[in-house]
Amino acid sequence: MRRPDDIGDENWVRCGFRDCYKCCLETEMLLTLDDYDRIVDAGYDPNEFSLPRDDNDGFAQLRNVDSPIGLKCYFLSDKGKCTIYPIAPAGCKLYPLIVNLDTSETMIDEDCREKEWFRKQEYHQSQIISITSLVNTLLIEQED
């Protein structure tokens, strides 16, 4: 994983705090259609990893499951590692960057354990574009 000041050719900010998996506990991460299809194509059952759109304001969302480390994302191992990181939802790779839907402001999520560290970083314009584009995609794909 890389720090935000070393993003190379990729658009993503990736968390480098390997001892932390706080954001994968009780996750509310939404899935774009691309995310959903990519994970299904990898052989995972959508009924197991995703909440139905009908029950979730028209959004597909990662499902949480009980575990010895707490209520966790379906894809988090009991050792706190993401088991699908290369194909994980785009929002997971951009987190803790989020967009405040009320103000359209790009910001660091209050729930991130290392939010103070992230708030001191300078973000590449491509990262801002990526999170904004992701939110727009989710809203366009939201089912009524």
Among 11, 12, 27, 32, binds ligand SF4 (CB under 6 A): 27
Q: Is the dihedral of CA 77, 79, 2, 103 positive or negative?
A: positive
Is 75 an interacting residue with respect to ligand SF4 (CB under 6 A)?
Answer: yes
Selected from 53, 63, 113, 124, the binder of ligand SF4 by CB under 6 A is 113
* 20, 71, 129, 139: which one binds ligand SF4 (CB under 6 A): 20
- Using the minimum distance from each CB to ligand SF4, give the nearer residue, 43 or 144: 43
At residue 69, φ and ψ (nearest 5 deg) are -100, 10
Alpha-carbon gap, residue 138 to 59, rounded angstroms: 8
Under the binding rule (CB under 6 A), the answer on residue 21 touching ligand SF4 is: yes
Nearest in space to 57 (alpha carbons), one of 144, 137, 134: 144
Does 36 sit near ligand SF4 (CB under 6 A)? no
Site for ligand SF4 contains 15 (CB under 6 A): yes
Which CB, 94 or 144, lies closer to ligand SF4? 94
Nearer to ligand SF4, 122 or 144 (CB): 122
Q: Are 22 and 113 in contact (CB under 8 A)?
A: yes
Give the residue, chosen from 11, 12, 13, 24, that forms a contact with ligand SF4 under the rule CB under 6 A: 24
Does residue 22 belong to the site contacting ligand SF4 (CB under 6 A)?
yes
Burial class (CB within 10 angstroms; exposed 0-12, middle 13-18, buried 19+) of 22: middle
* Amino acid letter for position 65: V
